[in-house]
Amino acid sequence: MKTVRILLADDHKVVRQGTRALLSTIPEWEIVGEADNGRDAVALTADLKPDIVILDITMPELNGLDAARQIKRKSPETEILIFTAQETEKLVHDVFDSGARSYIMKTDAADHLIDAIKALSEHKHFFTSRISEIVFARCIQGKQALEGTPENSRITDREREIVQLLGEGKSSKEIAIILGISVRTVETHRAAIMKKLGLKSFSALIRYAVRNKIIEA
């Protein structure tokens, strides 16, 4: 039987340890790496090419949704499972728009996580009954079921990265180093973000980032 190679990404070590312990009970599954932030998860995926990446949503440097988008661009065959403590209808929609095929709550039964990985190893979706209801409603109603177009669809992936790093208190110089761009480019992006979103202050930018789940309050 083919070995299923799994990467864990969560900023809480105890969650990674617990998940590793659970998944290690399946002989055919191998944990090939761990990351404690979204940016490392993307880099490790590109390096290790795991079959499945288990991502938390609220992680430093790069949140799980943006990490998922980057992973699917760089490694299309890698399946993504969002494993989180958060649940809102909008978030469910955003998760599946990011390219993930499964969304499991950390409060769900352990069997759900195992069943989800089994499904993903065959490139199939897996939903719990609660998530299935939300997904089904979207299929019936279309995207009009959402409360308008999500605000953060108006900024680019790179701009979302910069919003998160600014929200985490990083300076323009620190952001430039992390992203491998110039300080001037960071400042240009910041100005473009403020203009696009019609924001007048840094505090307004932080409120936007929290409201759109780019950073955690």
CATH of the domain at 189: 1.10.10.10
The CATH number for 127's domain is 3.40.50.2300
| Residue 86 pLDDT greater than 80, yes or no | no
* One domain, residues 78 and 42: yes
Fill in the amino acid letter for 185: T
User: How buried is 30 (Cβ within 10 angstroms: 0-12 exposed, 13-18 middle, 19+ buried)?
Assistant: middle
* One domain, residues 95 and 173: no
Q: Are the CB atoms for 4 and 115 separated by under 8 Å? A: no
Which residue among 98, 122, 144 closes a domain? 144
User: How buried is 149 (Cβ within 10 angstroms: 0-12 exposed, 13-18 middle, 19+ buried)?
Assistant: exposed
Q: Which tokens is 138 given?
A: 């979207």
91: pLDDT confidence band, cut at 50, 70 and 90?
Answer: confident
* One domain, residues 139 and 196: no
Q: Are the CB atoms for 38 and 6 separated by under 8 Å? A: no
| Residue 179 pLDDT greater than 60, yes or no | yes
The arithmetic mean of pLDDT across residues 32-59, rounded, is 95
168: pLDDT confidence band, cut at 50, 70 and 90?
Answer: confident
CA-CA distance, 9 to 206, in Å (whole number)? 24
Q: What integer best gives the mean pLDDT of the chain?
A: 85
Q: Are the CB atoms for 114 and 134 separated by under 8 Å? A: no
* One domain, residues 77 and 98: yes
Q: Is 217 inside a domain boundary?
A: no
Comparing C-alpha atoms, which of 44, 61, 187, 109 is closest to residue 53? 44
Query: The tokens 């070995």 sit on which residue?
Result: 3
Residues in Cβ contact with 61 at an 8 Å cutoff, skipping those fewer than 6 apart: 37, 38, 39, 40, 164, 165, 168, 178
Q: Is 216 inside a domain boundary?
A: no
Query: The tokens 């993504």 sit on which residue?
Result: 80
The arithmetic mean of pLDDT across residues 85-114, rounded, is 84
Question: pLDDT value at position 145?
Answer: 44
Please tell me the pTM assigned to this model: 0.73
Q: What pLDDT digit, counting tens, does each position of 100-155 carry?
A: 989 898 888 889 999 999 999 999 988 787 776 666 555 555 544 444 444 454 78
Q: Are the CB atoms for 105 and 84 separated by under 8 Å? A: yes
CA-CA distance, 40 to 148, in Å (whole number)? 33
The arithmetic mean of pLDDT across residues 45-66, rounded, is 93
